[in-house]
Amino acid sequence: MNYLKDLKKIITINSYTKNKEGVDKVNDIMTGWMEDLAYKTVTYQRKEIGNHTLYVSKKREGKKILLLGHNDTVFAPHTFDLYKEDEEWIYGPGVCDMKGGNIVALQALRNIFKKNGKIRNIDYLIVSDEESGSDDSTFVTAELASDYDYCFVFEAAGLNLEIVTARKGVGTFTIDIEGKAAHAGTSYTKGIDANLEASYKLQKLSALTDLDIGTTVNVGKIEGGIGSNTISPKCTMRVEIRFKKDSERNRLLNALQNITETSYIKGTKSTLTGAIQRDVMEENQKQRDFISKLEVITNTKILTENRGGVSDANITASNGLLSLDGFGPFGDGDHTVRERALKSSFTQRIDFMTNILLHFQK
């Protein structure tokens, strides 16, 4: 398992999304490995974040495949720098989310190159800002989506090595409320309480949650007021929405606008900013048919699951590209200092992905 040495090499380099130097260093290492497989490199240079990179194979007639990953992690420098192995597990930042997944993809491509001496119609996009919402790389990924027939995303596998067929959409919004300051003791009635307005909006927003259909609305942060002796002149609410269906996205967007525009406390004025960060990835029949084909190719029963978290699969799927996710190793503790990945799942995933990609080289 020499690929674990490669995994250690990139995990021990901090690649926090805002650490451009570290992200680019990991990217340069991946580029060297990919160019060893005769890939051409297209670099999307960025000043403030790490560069995004598309590795391009030679083309021929047949289905075009996009592999998709990210180099960045959530861990700022000096917060989680561990790399450790025992008999069953590997521990470290990004070991399952998703440097481990990148290594699965890389090793599968190495296996194909070793067997065939060439790779055709399989490109690999690695972005640098997935953990912060892919605000920049979204445009790159969305533009590329129409060039391919299938997309495999290498986020972590499920507990029983499930692949992911659906992910919630997510949007983040800010509601800014304006009231009027007044002395709470001498001029109470002259004030217009922005905080009180926020309390009404909070209840209305929370009531939009429908757990039975997987819709959640979370007002995660409220900031307002000057002090206990002053009627609050301003308040800001940070809101996240998550949804499983396009119809729920539309319902929530309409409700957000209506709640913002309604003044529950006379005299307040509110504005709404923000957007859908990643649209929903819905399970569909084309996916199911493709999974049946993959089961024949791999002689394996493929388990599937839906996830509440988002990934760049949301972007490719919402742009019409048949997308499947969860092709990385199984792991847990991601986004915490307990992040780990199961060694045996690397072997399974590499073999699994090698068989799939080899089929499309025939």
pLDDT tens for each residue of 9-65:
999 999 999 999 999 999 999 999 999 999 999 999 999 999 999 999 999 999 999
How do residues 308-354 score in pLDDT, each as one tens digit? 999 999 999 999 999 999 999 999 999 999 999 999 999 999 999 99
| Mean pLDDT in residue range 249-270 | 98
Q: What is each CA distance from 222 to 196, 198, 234, in whole angstroms? A: 12, 8, 11
Tell me what pLDDT residue 249 has: 97
Q: Which CATH architecture has domain 3-167+280-359?
A: 3-Layer(aba) Sandwich (3.40)
Angle of CA points 25, 309, 247, to nearest 5°:
130
Tell me what pLDDT residue 291 has: 98
- Output the average pLDDT for the chain: 97
Residue type, 33: W
pLDDT at 272 over 90: yes
Annotated domain spans of the chain:
3-167+280-359, 169-278
What is the DSSP track for 171-187?
EEEEEEEE-B-EETTT-
Tell me what pLDDT residue 362 has: 87
Tell me what pLDDT residue 243 has: 97
| Mean pLDDT in residue range 88-93 | 98
Residues above pLDDT 70, as percent of the chain: 100
Tell me what pLDDT residue 216 has: 98
Tell me what pLDDT residue 295 has: 98
How do residues 139-197 score in pLDDT, each as one tens digit? 999 999 999 999 999 999 999 999 999 999 999 999 999 999 999 999 999 999 999 99
169-278 folds as: Alpha-Beta Plaits (3.30.70)
C-beta of residue 67 within 8 angstroms of C-beta of residue 12: no
Burial of 234 (0-12, 13-18, 19+ CB in 10 A): middle
C-beta of residue 176 within 8 angstroms of C-beta of residue 169: no
C-beta of residue 133 within 8 angstroms of C-beta of residue 278: yes
